[in-house]
Amino acid sequence: MIGKKPLNIAFLSTIPPRECGLATFTQDLIDAIDESGAVNTYVIAVNNKMQRKYGSKVICEINQNCLEDYLELPDKLDSFGIDLVVIEHEFGIYGGEYGEYILEFLRQVEIPVITTLHTVLKNPNKKQKAIITELGKKSSKIVTMAKNTKSLLHTLYEIPSDKIRVIHHGVPFQKVLSRQELKEKNNFSRRQIVSTFGLLSPGKGIEYAIQAIKKIKRENNEILYLILGQTHPDQKDESYRRMLEGLVLEYQLSDNVKFINKYLSKTEIINYLQMSDIYMTPYLSKEQAVSGTLAYAVGYGRAIISTPYLYAQEMLAEGRGVLAESESADSLFYSLRYILQNPDKKREMEIKTMQFGKSMYWSIVGQSYMELFFEEVRLGKKLGVMIW
């Protein structure tokens, strides 16, 4: 119960209609928190040069590349009566070198700040390390989405362990048709479906997955690889997609690889996942601390193949999936073959991911954030709010 006045929480982040994973994450988190009705949620939208029509949650915007906007933001938060601000941090979202403008905001803001880190690098450059270290100093709490990044934040970035909280990336829960029903509905009833979804960019490693499909096709002509999603809006052109499409033509895989070139709705993503026999993330970077697409696949109980980036190592531990070598079509091929030829093992993986994924539903994740917000108030970090 909240006395005197409700707690006003503002999220500094991208938000739909801006198309990026961070925007989707923030919208889903706010929706989960709003279900409780215990706090008021607002958004400071981080915008680029594009004009967007935002919803009523957005109380103000900042131009990500305008330093003055960051300097003026603390006064704006005060005028709106904001009690606590949540920074959704990704290096490519904020202005300045590696997003350093966010530090100018932190140096002036007086209300409590909770920072959620969407990227934690094992080998940062000097500037990247300094930014995360400073975020750790100025934030009341740091949220990370994987246990294996907590020790890294403490040892490398010198953030006190008691400041760091691990809260899973959320997964939306929706009732969907069975896999076979969805396959029949989409005329894929005889196909074994592998899928990858997300905004396309060169770091996704999909070229290696296509090469693996070429190899598996020799043994299983019913294989179908769905590449789901449009090119990342920050990419200057469609060269990566065109390169992938060129590989499909070169390898004569037009019947085995399909591109769904659009920004997918949440319902579309979930239906495609539910229809998939195997989900695959062949990403190139070994440092990726979180993957929303992989979180979704775990939440919906898929058998998963992934390269061994940080988040995948944690999510697929204890038999929840198969880790393949990075930048290796052969390793992806052998992983695909293993799952396809061992249906009992595939079913075991699905059961394990589904059991683990239940702890990642947004209703649970939202509650964890709520408890963190209330904890900051109980610690007396904002006067005028009482919780009992």
Q: 4 pLDDT band (50/70/90 cuts)?
A: low
Residues 10, 82: contact at Cβ < 8 Å? yes
pLDDT (mean) for 33-62: 92
One domain for residues 280 and 290: yes
CA gap 348, 4 in Å, rounded: 51
- Which of 80-89, 251-260, 379-388 shows the lowest per-residue confidence on average (mean pLDDT)? 379-388
3-class SS at 7? strand
Render the burial of 218-239: b for 16+ CB within 10 Å, e for the rest: eebeebbbbbbbbbbeeeeeee
Instruction: Examine the pLDDT at 6 and tell me if it is beyond 90.
Output: no
Residues 117, 152: contact at Cβ < 8 Å? no
Residues 67, 104: contact at Cβ < 8 Å? yes
- Sheet hosting strand 322-323, strand order edge to edge: 257-260, 223-228, 192-197, 278-281, 303-306, 322-323
In degrees and rounded to multiples of 5, residue 194 shows phi and psi of -110, 140
- The structural domain count of the chain equals 2
pLDDT (mean) for 158-169: 96
> Who's near 145: CB < 8 A, 6+ residues apart?
116, 117, 118, 166, 167, 168, 169, 289, 290, 295, 311
One domain for residues 381 and 356: no
Instruction: Examine the pLDDT at 379 and tell me if it is beyond 80.
Output: no
One domain for residues 301 and 382: no
pLDDT (mean) for 138-153: 94
pLDDT (mean) for 123-139: 96
One domain for residues 317 and 382: no
pLDDT (mean) for 63-87: 95
Instruction: Examine the pLDDT at 352 and tell me if it is beyond 80.
Output: yes
Whole-number Cα distances in Å, 194 to 206, 304, 330, 341: 12, 9, 16, 14
Q: 378 pLDDT band (50/70/90 cuts)?
A: low
CA gap 359, 278 in Å, rounded: 21
pLDDT at 50: 77
pLDDT in tens, 317-351: 999 999 999 999 999 999 999 999 999 999 999 99
Instruction: Examine the pLDDT at 65 and tell me if it is beyond 70.
Output: yes
Domain that holds residue 118: 2-170+361-387
Whole-number Cα distances in Å, 283 to 167, 288, 332: 23, 9, 11
- Sheet hosting strand 84-89, strand order edge to edge: 58-63, 39-47, 7-13, 84-89, 113-117, 141-144, 164-166
In degrees and rounded to multiples of 5, residue 112 shows phi and psi of -60, 145
pLDDT in tens, 172-193: 988 999 999 999 999 999 999 9
CA gap 117, 274 in Å, rounded: 29
pLDDT (mean) for 266-294: 92
pLDDT at 377: 67
Residues 258, 210: contact at Cβ < 8 Å? no
Question: For residues 379 and 348, which has the higher predicted lDDT (pLDDT)?
Answer: 348
pLDDT at 37: 84
**Alpha helix (H) residue ranges in the chain:** 21-34, 67-79, 101-106, 126-138, 150-155, 179-185, 206-217, 239-250, 266-275, 292-299, 310-315, 329-341, 343-357, 362-378
Dihedral of CA atoms 82, 88, 91, 96 in degrees, nearest 10, equals -10
One domain for residues 23 and 66: yes
Instruction: Examine the pLDDT at 42 and tell me if it is beyond 70.
Output: yes
Mean pLDDT, the chain, integer: 92
Q: 384 pLDDT band (50/70/90 cuts)?
A: very low
Kindly state the DSSP code that residue 278 receives in the 8-state scheme. E
Instruction: Examine the pLDDT at 58 and tell me if it is beyond 80.
Output: yes
One domain for residues 158 and 10: yes
Instruction: Examine the pLDDT at 142 and tell me if it is beyond 90.
Output: yes
One domain for residues 369 and 260: no
One domain for residues 71 and 207: no
CA gap 381, 111 in Å, rounded: 8
One domain for residues 376 and 233: no
Instruction: Examine the pLDDT at 382 and tell me if it is beyond 70.
Output: no
The proportion of the chain whose per-residue pLDDT surpasses 90, expressed as a percent, equals: 83
pLDDT at 381: 47
CA gap 374, 6 in Å, rounded: 11
One domain for residues 203 and 248: yes
One domain for residues 19 and 72: yes
CA gap 64, 12 in Å, rounded: 11
The CATH number covering residue 200 comes to 3.40.50.2000
Question: For residues 379 and 162, which has the higher predicted lDDT (pLDDT)?
Answer: 162
pLDDT in tens, 194-253: 999 998 999 999 999 999 999 999 999 999 999 999 998 878 789 999 999 999 999 999
One domain for residues 126 and 189: no
